[in-house]
Structure 1
């Protein structure tokens, strides 16, 4: 696992179309509305069919309030670095610290030269970029006295005034693929921004290694460099390649790149508003969920000899299935508490899998899979409890205090109800995506690896379908909440049923799967 410790972020890579300028800006505004973190545009100043990227970034920054903006990436040979430094700092100040700086060494040299730029060899272009970064950073450094002096081979300033300083530490992200650019990224940049379509298998790992080595040689921590990735794909019912298929496939791919290759910012290249909505609503929350669970998962303790079982009666079911096995991951027991009088399945009819081998001992690595499942479930349990509490606070009319205030924004009751609905719907999407990942990946693998698990896998998949119907009931209750006087009663009943079914299911799933996951692995 490669993890550089950066918070996850999700953004868009939009076409700066000059033919439909207002539509381009509206699409950027939609990105903010659906909850994305970043809006980026390519920069080809020699392309008359495109808007000027810097002008477009300024307009988008003025029409939004939260989302960050960046070029992806700026064509440095046509943008003098000293002027660019002031432009970036100025827009950062005007936007409240929402500007990042993606830079490229240059490409399409015929077009650059036609616009008055200087044609450079690949090596010279990298050197010119290094000089430009030095100038930009020195212009921003207003704590140092005196003018900026850089006497480079391609960029020179002699006593340029410093400032203005940006509102925040603007990240300089480099679009890099070849060794010289990757080494420069490790030495001086704040981020690595390649496009997945230009990478072959293994290029992410190889690029990370080269960046890490260059960072260490320069006395920097590898974690000083954020890893970003431009991605594209298709939301379809099925697919055979990366980011080709349902949202669950996207979640699986992005989570793998985050955990295995340290990618912390995913930027989707599309102008399709529906794809942007799905990316923000279905993919991003689930990836955050899975990565957070992996990051917070405690490392299981080394197996120890089992303690003697007391003679005073049998242990509870969950413990008895693992007692005497040296198994250090403890499933969460079902406490038997039920809020709703409705029963959506017969719990007594649940099948059980093969008993654990009492002679088997498990390594720390083998135990990670089961603990990972429990950690994800614990996060779902915590969020479920939070939603249930919000429902009760709404019912009691006490939204003006505590967590309800922060979640519901202390608006009018009707607006609070809609905010509550949005929160619940977001949670429901996370649960549904989690179950989809299990159904399409983990459960089929376990069944193939050990056919004795087939009855358990079938039952778990059936319960996932039932839980989906219960979630649909929550959606219907949310509509009733804002349209009828009895809406709160319906929502409370729906949430009680969801609590009963989900908690019971999660405990059953852990009871049956934590040991097979250790024995058979996740994939």
Structure 2
């Protein structure tokens, strides 16, 4: 049965502490490739694993659009009040990109060794039901009293009495349950937003029976089967073999599309730490699955017709809906705040633009994602400039007032500004590093005449890195001051100078990159 849910695609990465930076880069790649979800497992007792909540916070800080979630949170070692506040806080800080995968727990010897409570299967499910009620209450999602300001749940495993609710998430955070046995499937139908099983524990041929249990229970609960998103942690290998997710990208697309149309699975989370596998999944598999499912859904809605044929990028059938590229490069109005720039703008290489090129919606989505990422960088830069302006105005207005209160306020402003600047610098650096290591390397091979443009873009990345260092040096000078007097004013002036130069170089660079790369990205994708 196809429940008609929107298709989503994500990655299930390892939180291995020995490859922390590679995991963060994988998350940034997933974000740039336009995937919907980044998840990691949660085993707090595993000495080789990073803390899941801290890792997801770091991922959210380095990405722009992708949602993050534990897959799944280990309830016996994550008390529900703390878990609810952690997820809500992450949702607030990420602008509404946090979700919650939740499980009853497993590996009980390890849980007990880490200070958790050993539970029987019945106790584990009972505790989960109580925890969901508490978490929903903390988020203001109580079904009988949405937005309620206090939470009272009296259970055998978890109890709260009159606890103040909050903070509330900024978007309706979903709870997804990893469930396999009948009772947990029924709990999923009654209380969860999504069902999140994994291959190996629930292989494709087992999904029909499990879905039937959820559907029946959802009907009894008055929710209906469509209220529960059907998700799936999948594992595979690209090649020429037989079996589920063992063949080519075309084979993967057909198999996942069939699962959507017959079993209703609509969110596929691929377990991998390999950037090359992730690229193929995002660029070759995901768009083809969407095309196949959309074609078949349209056929069914139209009352019949032949079944949809596989639709794969770069073949004639995939270009039936091709159209001219409507994505536009962000214009550069030529405004400059600095007396001079560290490069000439009139000697940038330029490539010929195709006059009659047409692209499918999936192809056009690639350059659009680049513009979206750049828009985020531009918006954050504007906010950073506003913060600097506020701090400078504050320093001037309190310069004559030497009270302890004013001194403390300015120091707090300086530290806040410093933290914001450092976060933004990391964001820009991460974006450029990802382009240099992945996207630009791919485009060089796919379109050799882009070589001079890629060379220039990489050179500008190095220049912008130097400007970011100037911003960082200015921050060091600011943090050691009180924020007023000649020393403080001089430090703020230096930050303003460095920020003006960053504004000039970064905005010019982003506009140039978009002018040159929109069509190549539509033709060749991200990698």
**Shorter-chain TM-score: which interval?**
0.5 to 0.7
SS at match of 1:267: strand
What's the counterpart of residue 461 of structure 1?
A: none
1:382 Cα shift? 5.1
Pair 1:249 & 2:169 matched: no
What's the counterpart of residue 120 of structure 2?
A: 121
In structure 2, stretches of 5+ residues that fail to align are 333-348, 367-445, 455-514, 523-527
How do residues 1-400 of structure 1 correspond to structure 2 at under 5 angstroms?
A: 2-141=1-140, 143-200=146-203, 202-236=205-239, 238-298=240-300, 367-369=305-307, 372-373=308-309, 380=318, 383-384=321-322, 386-387=323-324, 390=325
In structure 1, stretches of 5+ residues that fail to align are 302-363, 391-403, 431-474, 496-523
What's the counterpart of residue 499 of structure 1?
A: none
1:249 Cα shift? 1.0
1:248–1:115 Cα change, 3 Å: same
Q: Are the aligned partners of 1:13 and 1:72 in contact in 2 as well (CA < 8 Å)? A: yes
CA distance in 1 between partners of 2:351 and 2:263 (Å): 41
What's the counterpart of residue 426 of structure 2?
A: none
What's the counterpart of residue 417 of structure 2?
A: none
Q: Are the aligned partners of 2:89 and 2:167 in contact in 1 as well (CA < 8 Å)? A: yes
Q: Are the aligned partners of 2:257 and 2:292 in contact in 1 as well (CA < 8 Å)? A: yes
CA distance in 2 between partners of 1:480 and 1:26 (Å): 24
Q: Deviations over 1:82-126 (max 9, x none)?
A: 111111111101001001100000000001011111000011101
Q: Are the aligned partners of 1:408 and 1:416 in contact in 2 as well (CA < 8 Å)? A: no
1:375–1:257 Cα change, 3 Å: closer
What's the counterpart of residue 328 of structure 2?
A: 408
Q: Which has the larger radius of gyration?
A: 1
1:21–1:298 Cα change, 3 Å: closer
Aligned Cα root-mean-square deviation (Å): 3.5
CA distance in 1 between partners of 2:133 and 2:351 (Å): 50
SS at match of 2:288: helix
1:208 Cα shift? 0.8
CA distance in 1 between partners of 2:311 and 2:55 (Å): 43
CA distance in 2 between partners of 1:97 and 1:152 (Å): 30
CA distance in 1 between partners of 2:60 and 2:84 (Å): 17
1:149–1:294 Cα change, 3 Å: same
Which deviates more, 175-184 or 17-26? 17-26
1:408 Cα shift? 2.8
1:34 Cα shift? 1.8
